[in-house]
Amino acid sequence: MINNNMIRIGIIGLGYVGLPLAIEFGKKFNVVGFDKNPVRIFDLKSSLDKNKDIKKKQFKQSKKLNFSNNLIDLKKCNIYIIAVPTPITSRKKPKLKYIKEACLDVSSILKKDDIVIFESTVYPGLTEEFCVPILQRKSGLAYNKDFFCGYSPERINPNDKIHRLKNIVKITSGSNNYTANFVDNLYKKIVTVGTFKASSIKVAEAAKVIENTQRDLNIAFVNELSIIFDKLQLNTYEILKAANTKWNFINYQPGLVGGHCIGVDPYYLTCKSKQVGYNPKIILAGRKLNDSMGVYISNKILNKMKMKNIKVNQSKILFMGISFKENCSDFRNSKVFDIIAYFKNKCHSLEVYDPIVDSKEVYKKSKIKLIKYPKKNYYDVILILVRHKFYKKLGVNKIINFAKKNSVIFDLKNLFIKENNYIR
């Protein structure tokens, strides 16, 4: 058993999930934030979060937190929280490389009575069926006798300044009653709105994966509505605004579904579903529709260009926004890349303007050079694809000034709904 006065926490993975955890726990306990990326560790030691999620003053408030990319620095920890990415492969299968590596790392330093808590989104059963055997094999320790496990799924919404770790109810679970209570009490120390203790690790895993699957399906539904209403020459946003006047209408917005959660997690659930002999229908149908929206929107833009007699091979196109969601620097799995790929070899020139993201990281991952500022009276097509507040502040008049006279200005997310007479 771990004495509360002796708690030392090691957090493996310092991205959007792990860093906020490290910051909050570092106010209460001795914490080592571990990440294999030496550049990330260098930045964090300098109180710099390039994800623009944690501010400098928040680092200073976390007085018991240290950062390291050296596994040896985790050896004195007795609580390990694994918060690494769980992406998918090109074939839409769970990619377990990072969680496997994290388990191997922890297993090499795991001691008697240690607790390993997983935050990464997984399918029901993965913790005990995949992770635990790895931890046992290399450590030589017995599960639920020598070491214990918990699962507390992350509910982070990147760059959301309202819904933060401290004020989002935390689901907790453990491999036995003692561990479940310990994990629950541990998170209660940093989550002010309280916790929900699930009856088992599998229940907690399933609860997390259906949260994002439900959201994916709801967006797929409104995306399909937008296709129907486009054909009827009706404004989807006006219709949703009217429908939202009913108290029980759920107001989802159409758009591109990217990122590392909503467009990924349903495949974890469907993978497990197929393993137990059921081929899911609705979940995969929603995924198929959302994955196809990049091509649908590209064709829609192409038709608008034809209506204006803009020749694609002579066109200059400006993309405004490349991140997977508004006001966020994360561009992983952004569906804007689908639209860029569609036009890249068709148009004369293509420029991308997104001051929110790290231009060096974008170039490193995609070889796309972001521009510092658009040119005046230059573009045949302007695509406002991400609803950044920055673009709203920039204003519709300045955006119009970037365009030639006979141009297409396409406002995907209706950022300028009140000024839509000016958006062509």
Q: Is 380 helix (H, G, I), strand (E, B) or coil?
A: strand
Measure Cα distances from 160 to 62, 226, 394 in Å: 20, 26, 21
In the three-class reduction of DSSP (H, G, I as helix; E, B as strand; rest coil), residue 65 is classed as strand
Q: Which residues contact 21 (CB under 8 A, 6 or more apart)?
A: 11, 81, 83, 119, 165, 190
Distance CA 186, CA 172 (A): 10
Instruction: Give one word for 52, left, alpha or beta, with left for phi > 0 and alpha for psi -120 to 50.
Output: left
* β-bridge partners, 170: 195
Beta strands in 94-152 (DSSP E): 115-118, 148-151
- The residues pairing with 68 across neighbouring beta strands, listed in sequence order, are 34
Q: How far apart are CA 269 and CA 281, in angstroms?
A: 12
Helix, strand, coil percentages for the chain (3-state, nearest 5): 40, 15, 45
190: phi then psi, degrees, rounded to nearest 5 = -120, -15
Tokens encoding 186: 């541990």
State the catalytic residues.
261
Structure tokens given for 173:
């679970």
Q: Which two tokens stand for residue 38?
A: 């030496």
- Rounded CA gap, 317 and 133, in Å? 52
Can you tell me the distance from the alpha carbon of 373 to that of 399, in angstroms, rounded to the nearest whole number?
Answer: 11
Give the span between the Cα atoms of 56 and 341, in whole angstroms.
37
DSSP, collapsed to helix, strand or coil, labels residue 273 as: helix
145: CB partners within 8 A, 6+ apart: none
For residues 110 and 77, the answer to whether their CB atoms sit within 8 Å is no
Sign of the Cα pseudo-torsion (397, 399, 400, 401, in order) = positive
Instruction: Compute the distance between CA of residue 307 and CA of residue 398 in angstroms, rounded to an integer.
Output: 24
Looking at residue 46, its amino acid is S
